């Protein structure tokens, strides 16, 4: 029987000193479930990521769509039972204070907007550190992985991030290597997921391991999802043009290009990373995007240059250098050929805006046509 939050006898030192954690309940989830998950929702978390994970557990935990937490159980935890506000403004009421982590099979940290990720240790951070010390697998969903990195819990681990936050990640964690072309990454007792619809695939993976593939497929079928995607499946790439056709190899090529704007990769290196030949990659781009890989790469760099001209006070020369152009003249010619105006003329046409660095998380390369 579950004990009230904050109740029960004091733990002993061998119980990972949980008694020293003011906001941690000594209650433990019921042990009967085959898959037990604790959720920690960060401020401005992504509601879709959380709800997708929970719904797969809900549908896998019972027969049909009756939603009884029999084979799967979950708790939404928060210090002092404070509600967690999602990025869309909807509050989620927790079901428990921070519970003894040993009663779970996984603890899932769900993030969202980067400004909602705690920058320093707090009760949640201390809780996650103690859970890690106890050997509990930790899952970072969306920007929840940023908190795990800030806490030093991803050292020498691969970390999956969304392509959207790739440069934010490198700016903050230059010694870590992000994976931004997969849905999720399992690295021992650390699992990280880029977020979005890929969370359902991750949840299905865990259900498969604990309850079987048929149970996972049943849950996905009720959610009208055809089949689970593998961890290595490509994150959907932002499209360069309307009407393009999805292709995993083109998607990953575009992600590699977007992640290497300052020091452009050779097309042969991109093809090698994808396991295809240069000619095959050129055919794929011609078929899907009606242009060569070189043209797509240049388009990415120029679109980002246009955003920087409109949103920062960096000089054209600085922008040219940051985006890997040989010199200002080369940049100016390429910019005018694509947009019909020199960088200086374009900047005069846009309203002055406050200085902003790329790490602010606003105005990404693919957001303007």
Closest CA to 261 of 323, 177, 179: 323
pLDDT at 10: 39
- What pLDDT shows up at residue 12? 40
Taking only the tens place, the pLDDT of each residue in 205-221 is 999 999 999 999 999 99
Contacts of 323 (CB under 8 A, 6+ apart): 261, 262, 301, 304, 305, 331
Q: Which candidate, 198, 206, 191, 129, places its Cα nearest to that of 159?
A: 191
Q: Give 256-303 pLDDT, tens digit per residue.
A: 888 787 788 999 999 998 999 999 999 999 998 889 999 999 998 998
CA dihedral of 63, 66, 70, 72, whole degrees rounded to 10: 90
Task: Give, for all 369 residues of the chain, the pLDDT tens digit.
Answer: 333 333 334 344 334 333 333 444 444 555 689 999 999 999 999 999 999 999 999 999 998 778 899 999 999 999 999 999 999 999 999 999 999 999 999 999 999 998 777 766 689 999 999 999 999 999 999 999 999 999 999 998 999 999 888 878 888 988 887 888 889 999 999 999 999 999 999 999 999 999 999 999 999 999 999 999 999 887 775 554 444 446 888 888 988 888 787 788 999 999 998 999 999 999 999 998 889 999 999 998 998 899 889 888 889 998 998 888 988 899 999 999 999 999 999 999 885 554 444 444 344 433 333
| Gyration radius of the chain's alpha carbons | 23
CB atoms within 10 A of CB 232: 12
How far is 263 from 89, CA to CA, in rounded Å? Answer: 39
- State the pairing for strand pair 72-77/35-41: parallel
Torsion sign, CA atoms 68, 138, 5, 33:
positive
Distance CA(173)–CA(156), nearest Å, equals 12
């Amino acid at each position: 029987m579950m004990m009230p939050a904050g109740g029960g006898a004091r733990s002993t030192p061998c119980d990972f000193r949980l008694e020293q954690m003011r906001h941690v309940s000594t209650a433990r989830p019921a042990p009967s479930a085959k898959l037990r998950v604790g959720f920690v929702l960060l401020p401005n978390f992504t509601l879709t990521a959380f709800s997708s994970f929970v719904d797969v557990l809900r549908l896998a935990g019972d027969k049909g769509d009756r939603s009884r937490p029999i084979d799967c159980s979950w708790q939404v935890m928060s210090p002092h039972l404070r509600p967690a506000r999602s990025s869309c403004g909807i509050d989620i009421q927790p079901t428990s204070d921070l519970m003894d982590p040993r009663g779970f099979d996984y603890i899932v940290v769900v993030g969202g907007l980067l400004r909602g990720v705690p920058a320093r240790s707090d009760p949640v951070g201390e809780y996650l550190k103690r859970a890690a010390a106890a050997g509990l697998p930790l899952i970072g969903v969306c920007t929840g992985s940023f908190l795990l990195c800030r806490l030093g819990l991803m050292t020498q681990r691969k970390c999956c991030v969304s392509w959207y936050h790739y440069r934010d990640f490198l700016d903050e964690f230059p010694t870590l290597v992000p994976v931004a072309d997969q849905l999720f990454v399992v690295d021992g007792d650390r699992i990280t997921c880029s977020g979005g619809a890929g969370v359902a695939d991750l949840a299905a993976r865990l259900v498969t391991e604990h309850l079987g593939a048929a149970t996972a497929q049943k849950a996905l079928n009720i959610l009208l999802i055809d089949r689970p995607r593998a961890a290595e499946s490509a994150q959907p790439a932002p499209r360069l043009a309307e009407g393009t056709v999805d292709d995993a190899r083109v998607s990953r090529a575009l992600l590699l290009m977007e992640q290497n704007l300052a020091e452009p990769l050779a097309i042969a290196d991109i093809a090698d990373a994808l396991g295809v030949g240069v000619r095959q990659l050129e055919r794929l781009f011609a078929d899907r995007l009606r242009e060569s890989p070189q043209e797509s790469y240049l388009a990415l760099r120029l679109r980002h240059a246009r955003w920087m001209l409109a949103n920062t006070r960096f000089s054209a020369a600085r922008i040219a250098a940051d985006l890997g152009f040989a010199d200002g003249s080369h940049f100016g010619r390429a910019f005018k050929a694509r947009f019909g105006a020199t960088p200086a003329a374009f900047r005069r046409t846009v309203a002055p805006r406050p200085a902003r660095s790329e790490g602010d998380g606003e105005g990404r390369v693919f957001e303007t046509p």
